[in-house]
Structure formats: structure tokens, C-alpha cells
Amino acid sequence: MKKNILIYDDDEDILFLCKAILADYDFVVETLSKCENVLTDIQTFNPLVILMDLWIPRIGGEKAIEIIKQNESTKQTPVIIFSANANIEDISKKVNADGYIEKPFTISTFIETIQRHVG
Amino acid sequence: MKTQPEANNLERIEDLENRLAEAEQLIDAIKTGEVDAFAIRSENKTEIFTLHSGDYAYRVLVENFSEGAINITEEGLIVYSNKYFHELLDLSYEKVIGTSVFDFIHPQSIETFKPLFTKAFGGQSKGEINLVAATNIIPVYISLTSLYPQLPTIGIIVTDLTEKKKNEKILEDKNKELERTILKLSDMEARNASKDEFISIASHEMKTPLTTAKGYIELLLRSLSEENQTALYATKANQALERLHDSITELLDVSKIQNGQLNYNITGFDFNELLDETMENVQHTTKNHILHKTGNISQQINGDKGRLQQVLINLLSNAIKYSPNADKVLVKIEEQDSKVQVSVQDFGIGMSKQHLDKIFDRYYRVEEHAVHFQGLGIGLYISNNIIKRHEGKMWAESEPEQGSTFYFTLPV
């Protein structure tokens, strides 16, 4: 079975980097720079884990996580906050995220955190 | 049988006896103070006779009253003034008596006074007016009472409001000042909020390209063998980016300290373990120095583990950084009374006394060292703040060319 990862970030360079890092691993990576259609995105890509930036245009990452966690069919999908926000740990607890990766990150932290959630 | 004149005499005697008894009763009443005035009706008018001993007490009281007391006729002529009232107007008793009360009322208060005066004839009235004294205007509270029908006059009690008004003015001024301060503060708060938002956005904007650069360099390093010269370049670039990241984080911390927004997540933890773990991590960053630890503590510490680790990293990195020719850093931990004391000693360049007091100041750098050692001069400022917030103390001892020892304490 393919291991799908869905990454939301408004910075194209970051998305490209994530794809480059994950290319060596057994993942299928889908990247998006908008998060307002998060429920249909999940339906379309069926990800094992979602990485969500916080400062993302329109509704923002926090709101998107709230939508995921309030929907019966998507609330089980692990969501990892992926941000440069210094209060990432507090925000992660607040929105009930499943984990966080603080930017800048090391490749090992990045991979370990993702793998912890895809089993 | 009694004769007619005899009977008349008996009646007269009886009448006289009754009148005598009445008179005796009246005298008794006067003696005991039950009566202090009486009215005698003669022909068409009633005259009031007061007993001097009876109203003596009231006269003295009113005369020495610490409020003004006057009695005015229905035309407004002052027929009585106590000492306080004419002294309040800064006039002699003679100048006040027989003068119209309207002469002492400020022109702008006349319209206020007139209805109070009219109303007083029906009983009582009260209000505030301004009096005109010899040299100044006096705000007063007046209480008018009709003395009808016994006397065709109005009694007025006059309370000087000068002090009260002065206090009210002071209070009003203070209130205005307070309002201005609040406005200024909220304005400052708004500006600070936008400054905070700016710093938050700026640090985010700096961290995003940093993330990308660091990520690609790490990818590059992974693809190169250690012997490759390019790998060395990439490692150097990575180290430079690490420093940039630390600087951004430090600047953000300083901004948070300045705005009282550095949050602390307090838990109980094993400080000894944190020290060992941190020393192990820092050991990896140096090839020249060995970090030695002496002492142990058994007590738990309540504090922010992450922030205290930040302090340890700062002190250990400084010790390594400022002793490039030394081969060791000594760390000592001990329990003293109800606190833990940690010291980090290096054998490096040290500094003279004049710098010791200032090294915990924001942006302070020892000038003669700044050329050779990079930094923003905020690491110790942040560390000292963190220790202070844990109700601990931080200080240093140093000698030029002998090295420095940094100490801090934390309550157990």
C-alpha cells in the first residue's frame, strides 16, 4: 500500500525541499499551498499523515486543523503542525494536533516525526 | 350664711392662690431650665421674652461655631452674624450687620439665591452659591431655615467650600492626568502590539528561507562522502546557518522579555539529569575541550526545563568560545541550604572588573574581545532573566587571562 503524505505550506521552496527529502523514502507526497478545501483534499489523497503550516493564506492552518478534527470521517487522520512559530508546542496542544515539526528542522527530526505517525 | 362681700373675697383669694401656684410652677420650670422664653400677649401683639440664662448656651455655641451663622430679615438685611461669618468675609462685625445679604452674594449667584430665599419662608432650603469677600470669592453651601412665626427672620448656616472645591479641583486634575496616562498607555500598548507582531512576522520571514537553505545543505551533506572537500564547505555553511538561527531565536527572546511575554512552563524535574544531558550535547560541539562535572544533587527543581537548558547551553558555549586555547571546562553543582548552586569555570581570556557588572546588560560586549568573538551580546542578558524569573541569582568572577567562572542559584 502506498504511504500518502499531504503537506500544506504556502512556500514553494519548502514544499520542493520536503519532496526532495522524502524522495529517498517510501512515500507518495502531495503538496498544496491552500488549505480551505481540506476535507475534499483528504478525500482525494487519502493521506496517512498531514503536515500543516500555520501561516497559510485565507483560513490559516489552525482553522484547517479544527475542521479536520471536528469531522467524523477525518478526525482520525494524524495532523502534524509544520511551522516556524516559536509557540508551536502550545498551539499544537491548543488545537489538539498530533505532533509538530518546528522550522528550521533537521532531516532526521523531520523523518522521525513523520514515521512515528505512519507506523 | 356668708355675706356677699365675704363670698367675693373668698373667690378672689382662691383666684390669687391659683395664680400664685401657677407663678410658682413657672418659676420652678425656669429654675430647672424647662422654660427659656415666654410669650406675653398684650392688646394686639405678642411679645417674646427670652431668659438670658436660657439662650446663653445657644448664643455661645452659635457664636463659636466653625460655620457661618446669620439671621436675615425678609428684606435680606443681616440682623445677626456670628464671628465665623464676618471673619469669612474678612470684614468687621459692624460692616456686616445692617447690610443686605445680597451685597455679599456674587452677581452670578443671585439668581440661584433668590428662589432658595423665597422657598425658605415655607420652611427650609439648601444650595450652593458664591460669596464675595473683601478680596476673593468664596464658594459656600447654605442652609436656610425660617424662624417664623416666632421671629420674622430667616436663619442661614453657611459652610465654606473653599477647601472642598480645592480638593475637588485637585481630584479633577488628577483624574484628567490619569485619563491622559491611560490614553498614552493604551497607545503604547497598541504600538507595542504592532511591534510584537512585526517581530513575529520578521522572525517567521527569516526562518522560512533559513529552513529551506538548511534543508538543502543537509541533503547535500547526505549525498557526499565525508572526505569530499565539498562536504566540508557544506558543513561550514550549515554551521553558519545554525548561528543565524540562534541569533534569530535570541532576538525573538529579547523582544519577548522586553514585553514580558516570555512564557514559562513550570514542572518539577531532575536538574542533575538535565545538566548531564546538556553537557553531553555541548561536548559534541567541541574537539578541544573536555567538560568535567563535579557534585550531584538529589532534590528536584521546579522550573522551565527548556529555558534552564538554554541557560546551561549559553554558559557552556560561552566557556568554550572564550577559552580557545584551554582544554577543559569545569562544571560544579552543589546544594546549599534551600538552593542549588551551579558554576561553570573556564580557563580562557577572562575579563577585567569593569566589565563584570555590565555583561548581563542587553547588547553589552567586551570591546577588546568583540573583534575576535562573534555574538550579539544578548545571551547572558537572556540567561540572567531566565534565572531571575526562577527566583535565582546569577553572577560572575573573572580575571583577565585567567578565565571566568559563572554562577547561578535556583531555589529547591
Checking if the pLDDT of B2 tops 60, the result is: no
Confidence of residue B31 (pLDDT cuts 50, 70, 90): low
What CA dihedral angle connects A32, A37, A39 and A44, to 10 degrees? -50
Among B32-36, B329-333, B356-360, the minimum mean pLDDT is found in B32-36
Put simply, whether A111 touches B (Cβ < 8 Å) is: no
CB atoms inside a 10 Å sphere around CB B355: 19
pLDDT of residue B119: 92
DSSP B193-255: HHHHHHHHHHHHHHHHHHHHHHHHHHHHHHHS-TTSHHHHHHHHHHHHHHHHHHHHHHHHHHH
Tens-digit pLDDT profile for residues B149-189: 888 889 999 999 988 888 888 889 888 888 888 888 887 77
| Cβ atoms of B136 and B54 closer than 8 Å | no
| Cβ atoms of B82 and B68 closer than 8 Å | yes
Tens-digit pLDDT profile for residues A90-101: 899 999 999 999
Give me the residue from A14, A55, A86 closest to B211, CB to CB: A14
Put simply, whether B251 touches A (Cβ < 8 Å) is: no
Q: How far apart are the first and last CA of chain B?
A: 123
pLDDT of residue A103: 93
**Which of B212, B216, B219, B246 to substitute to test the interface with A, most A CBs within 10 Å?**
B212
| Cβ atoms of A77 and A45 closer than 8 Å | no
State phi, psi for A55 to the nearest 5 degrees: -90, 85
CB–CB of B245 and A14 under 8 A?
no
Q: Is B46 exposed, middle or buried (0-12, 13-18, 19+ CB in 10 A)?
A: exposed
| Cβ atoms of B412 and B339 closer than 8 Å | yes
Confidence of residue B44 (pLDDT cuts 50, 70, 90): low
Whether the predicted interface score ipTM is above 0.90: no
Put simply, whether B249 touches A (Cβ < 8 Å) is: yes
pLDDT of residue B349: 92
Report the mean per-residue pLDDT for chain B: 86
Q: Is B18 exposed, middle or buried (0-12, 13-18, 19+ CB in 10 A)?
A: exposed
pLDDT of residue A56: 84
Mean pLDDT, rounded, for B341-347: 96
Put simply, whether A90 touches B (Cβ < 8 Å) is: yes
Q: How far apart (Å, rounded) are the C-alpha atoms in residues A106 and B346? A: 31
Checking if the pLDDT of B407 tops 90, the result is: yes
pTM of the model: 0.53
Mean pLDDT, rounded, for B124-142: 91
| CB contact burial B120-149 (16+ within 10 A = b; e otherwise) | beeeebebebbbeeeeeebbbebbbebeee
Q: How far apart (Å, rounded) are the C-alpha atoms in residues B357 and B270? A: 31
CB–CB of B222 and A14 under 8 A?
no
Q: How much is the CA Rg of chain A, to the nearest whole Å?
A: 13
Contact list, A17 vs chain B (CB under 8 Å): 211-212, 215-216, 219
Distance from CA of B223 to the nearest CA of A (A): 11
Tens-digit pLDDT profile for residues B59-108: 788 888 889 999 999 889 998 999 999 999 988 888 898 899 999 999 99
Q: Which of B353, B365, B334 is nearest to B402 (CA)?
A: B353
Percentage helix, strand, coil for chain B under 3-state DSSP, each rounded to 5:
50, 25, 25
Beta-ladder partners of B270: B300
Among B26-40, B306-320, B356-370, the minimum mean pLDDT is found in B26-40
Tens-digit pLDDT profile for residues B372-396: 777 777 889 999 999 999 999 999 9
Mean pLDDT, rounded, for B293-307: 90
Give me the residue label for grid cell 554551521: B239
What would the grid cell of residue B365 be?
560586549
Contact list, A87 vs chain B (CB under 8 Å): 263
DSSP A68-99: HHHSTTTTTS-EEEEE--TTHHHHHHHTT-SE
Contact list, B203 vs chain A (CB under 8 Å): 84, 86
Tens-digit pLDDT profile for residues B221-272: 988 888 888 888 888 888 888 888 888 888 888 887 877 777 788 899 999 9
Where is mean pLDDT largest: A74-78, B6-10, B258-262?
Answer: A74-78
User: Strand, helix or coil at B37?
Assistant: strand
Among B190-199, B239-248, B287-296, the minimum mean pLDDT is found in B190-199
pLDDT of residue A31: 95
pLDDT of residue B387: 95
| CB contact burial B211-220 (16+ within 10 A = b; e otherwise) | bbbbbbbbbb
Confidence of residue B114 (pLDDT cuts 50, 70, 90): very high
Report the mean per-residue pLDDT for chain A: 91
pLDDT of residue B35: 61
Tens-digit pLDDT profile for residues A10-51: 889 999 999 999 988 889 999 999 998 999 999 999 999 999
Name the percent of chain B lying above pLDDT 90: 43
Checking if the pLDDT of B348 tops 80, the result is: yes
